[in-house]
Amino acid sequence: VVHTIQHDRGKLQPTTLQSIIYVHLKPSTRCIQRSERRCELLQDLVDLCCMCECVLRQSNTLYTTPSVSIVYIPLSLTHTHTHTSFSLHPQVQTNRQSELHYEEVQFFSDDTLYQRGIQWYMEQFPYPPSPSVPPTNSSLPSSPPPPPTLLFEKSATYFVHPQAPQRAKAVLPQAQLVVILADPSHRAYSWYQHQRAHSDPTAVRFSFSEVIRASPSSPPHLSSLSHHCLTPGHYHQHISHWLEYYDHSQLLLIDGDELVERPAAVMDQLLEFLRLPFHPFQNILQYDSRKGFYCVVESNRRKKCLGKSKGRSYPPMTDEDQQWLSSYYAPHNAQLKELLTRLGRTPPRWLI
C-alpha cells in the first residue's frame, strides 16, 4: 500500500511528497469475509455482488470450480424430471435440498437469501474439497486428479427475475445456462393447475379463464396470479435480458415437447453442450404407461418414478382459452422466432 496525498482530481502536486513509505499489510480475515464486511458498511450504496471480486482469487477451494446454473421455465413435471435424470451422471453434483424452497436454492431471485453472500450459496452444493498438492520434492508419485465435477441447480424463478441475470453473471461469469422452451399456452395452464393443486386460494376461487383475462384493475391477488401465469411465456423478453449479461454461446435452448417425448436424446444434447462424457441415458430412462412419462430404471431393473404430485392429470384447456392464449402470445412468439433466427438456433416445434 502506498500512502499518498492527492490534489487536483487525483494528480500529485510536485511538492507533496518528500519520501514514500511502503507498508506491507497481511490481511487477518479471508477475502470473502472482508468483502462481506465492506458490503455491510456500504449496503445502501452497493449491491452484494461486490463480494464476487473474491471468487477468482480463491485457490484450492470450491470457488475455482467451474459450475453451471441451469435456468428452467417453471413447468413442474418437465424441469423436475430433467433435474432427476441429469443428477444420474457420475460427474454431476446438484445442490442440497433447501429448507425454504425444497429442491431449489433460489439464491439469485430471493433478496433475503442473496444477502447471505457467496459463501452461503456455495455451501449449498455438496462438493468435496480439492485434494492437497504434494511437495515438489516428494518421492511419492502423485495420484491423478479426480474427474471434474459439474455443479448445477434448477430454478423456476431465475428466468423471469429482473435482477437474477446480473447477480448470476457477477458470481458465475462462466456459467452455462439451459432454458426449457415449453409452449407458453401449455405452460400457463400447467402453472395454474400447479397452483390449484397446492390449494392456492386464488387459483381455487377463480377459473383459468378468469385468471388469464384479469386486468390491472382486478383484485391484486388475481392480477398477481395472472401475471405469474402469462409473463414467463414472454420468452423473447427474458432471453434478451439474460443475453445482456451472458454470451449466447453459454445458452442452450431445449424444446419442451422434445424433452417430454425423447428425454434420453435431450440428455445427450445437454452432455454435448456441457462437454461431459457420454452416459447411457437411453438405458436408464424408460417410459411408464401407467404414469404417462419416463421413469428411472434402477440397478435391480425396478422403475423409480416421480411422486404422485408429479404428472398429475387435469381437465384439458377449453378451446376458447386456447384461442385466447394463441392470440395473446402471437406477437411474443413472433419476436422469439426472430431472435432465434438471428442467433442461428432451431425453433421448437410448437413455434414452427
- Stretch 310-316: mean pLDDT: 75
- Predicted structure pTM score: 0.75
Calculated CA dihedral for residues 305, 309, 314, 319, nearest 10 degrees = -90
Residue 296 grid coordinates? 428411472
Nearest to 301 by CA among 286, 290, 279, 281: 286
Nearest to 320 by CA among 230, 183, 189, 200: 189
304 annotated ligand binder: no
Specify whether the CB–CB gap between 73 and 181 falls below 8 A.
Answer: yes
Tell me, what's the pLDDT at 113?
92
249 annotated ligand binder: no
Range of weakest confidence among 136-150, 157-171, 201-215, 269-283: 136-150
Range of weakest confidence among 55-59, 257-261, 287-291, 322-326: 55-59
- Stretch 163-177: mean pLDDT: 91
Tell me, what's the pLDDT at 334?
98
Higher pLDDT, 248 or 139: 248
Contacts of 284 (CB under 8 A, 6+ apart): 85, 88, 264, 296, 297
- Within a domain: 287: yes
Question: Per-residue pLDDT tens for 212-241?
Answer: 999 999 999 999 999 999 999 999 999 999
Higher pLDDT, 74 or 72: 72
* SS3 assignment, position 76: helix
19 annotated ligand binder: no
CB count within 10 Å of CB 174 equals: 10
Q: Is the pLDDT of residue 202 over 70?
A: yes
Tell me, what's the pLDDT at 230?
98
Specify whether the CB–CB gap between 126 and 96 falls below 8 A.
Answer: yes
Specify whether the CB–CB gap between 97 and 152 falls below 8 A.
Answer: no
Q: Is the pLDDT of residue 312 over 90?
A: no
Question: Per-residue pLDDT tens for 106-125?
Answer: 899 999 999 999 888 888 88
CA distance 30 to 136: 27
207 annotated ligand binder: no
Range of weakest confidence among 37-51, 153-167, 175-189: 37-51
- Stretch 182-194: mean pLDDT: 95
Please state, for a pLDDT cut of 90, what percent of the chain lies above it.
42
User: Can you tell me which residue has the cell 392480477?
Assistant: 223
- Within a domain: 41: no
Q: Is the pLDDT of residue 19 over 80?
A: no
- Within a domain: 1: no
Tell me, what's the pLDDT at 156?
84
* Residue range(s) defining the domain that contains residue 210: 69-128+147-351
- Within a domain: 27: no
- Within a domain: 19: no
294 annotated ligand binder: yes
- Within a domain: 24: no
- Within a domain: 30: no
Mean model confidence pLDDT for the chain? 77
- Stretch 150-162: mean pLDDT: 88
Higher pLDDT, 283 or 28: 283
pLDDT band at 36 (very low <50, low <70, confident <90, very high): low
Please tell me the total count of domains within the chain: 1
Residue 201 phi/psi, 5-degree rounding, is -60, -35
CATH number of the domain bearing residue 286 = 3.40.50.300
Please state, for a pLDDT cut of 70, what percent of the chain lies above it.
65
User: Can you tell me which residue has the cell 449491491?
Assistant: 47
185 annotated ligand binder: no
- Stretch 152-163: mean pLDDT: 90
Tell me, what's the pLDDT at 1?
41
190 annotated ligand binder: yes
- Within a domain: 47: no
